[in-house]
Amino acid sequence: MTIRLRTAHTADLTPAELRAVRTLLDDAFEGDFSDEDWDHGLGGMHALVHDGSGLAAHGSVVMRRVLHRGRSLRTGYVEAVAVRADVRRTGLGGRIMAALEGVVDRAYTLGALSASDAGAALYAARGWQVWPGRISALGPDGIVHLPDEEGTTFVRPASAGPLDPSHGLVFDWRDGDVL
C-alpha cells in the first residue's frame, strides 16, 4: 500500500480536502470535536497522510502567543491530530508528528499542545514534556486559570530554551477556551 505524506497551509487545501479532514476528526473524536476545535486547527500548516483508502491521518500546527516570564513566545500549537481507526498503531501518528515538529522547530520559539488521554503516550514518546506549572489564558476579562489543562499540556522548547515552571504559561484566548 502506498502512503503519501503532504504538508500544506490551510489556504492550499481544497474544500473537499477540508471536508475529509473534518470527517476524519469527527470520527476519531467520536463526535467530541466541536466547531471551535475545528476553527483552532485552521490557519496554519497541515500534515496529511493518504493511503489507498483516502485520508488516513492529519494534524496541524497554528501560531499562538504564550506569555512566560515577561516574554511573548511565538508558539507552534499542534491541533487536530487524528488517525483513521483502521490504521491506528501503524506509525502514521508518528509520521504526522515528525512533519509538524519540523515546522515547530524551524518556525517557532516554542511548541505546545493539549493531549487527550489517547494521544499523551505518542507525544511523550517523541520527547514532548508535560508542562509541570500553571496554565492560564488571557481572556476578555484578564488572566483566567485553566486547571483542566494542567497535566495535559505538553511543550517542546524549540529555540526558547529551558522554561521555568515556577512561572506559568499564559496562552492567548480563543473562542471555546475560556468559559
Q: What is the pLDDT of residues 141-173, one digit of tens each?
A: 899 999 999 999 999 988 888 899 999 999 999
- Is the confidence at residue 116, as pLDDT, over 70? yes
- The pLDDT, as a whole number, for residue 1 is 66
- Is the confidence at residue 10, as pLDDT, over 90? yes
To 5 degrees, how large is the angle CA 143–CA 153–CA 9? 95
- Is the confidence at residue 103, as pLDDT, over 70? yes
- The pLDDT, as a whole number, for residue 157 is 83
- pLDDT tens string 83-94: 999 999 999 999
Instruction: Tell me the percentage of the chain whose pLDDT exceeds 90.
Output: 87
Query: In sequence order, what are the residues at sequence separation of 6 or more whose Cβ sits closer than 8 angstroms to the Cβ of residue 133?
Result: 150, 164, 165, 166, 167, 168, 169
**Rounded distance between C-alpha atoms, residue 49 and residue 38, angstroms:** 18
Average pLDDT estimate for 23-32: 94
Average pLDDT estimate for 16-42: 95
Give counts: helices (H), strands (E), the chain: 4, 10
Distances (CA, A) of 104 to 12, 136, 163: 19, 21, 16
- Range 72-92 burial, b when 16+ CB lie within 10 A, else e: ebebbbbbbbbbbeebeeeeb
- pLDDT tens string 127-144: 999 999 999 999 888 999
- The pLDDT, as a whole number, for residue 179 is 44
Distances (CA, A) of 147 to 84, 96, 173, 177: 30, 28, 15, 12
| DSSP result, 14-65 | -HHHHHHHHHHHHHHTTT---HHHHHHT-SSEEEEEEETTEEEEEEEEEEEE
- The pLDDT, as a whole number, for residue 177 is 64
Mean pLDDT for the chain overall: 94
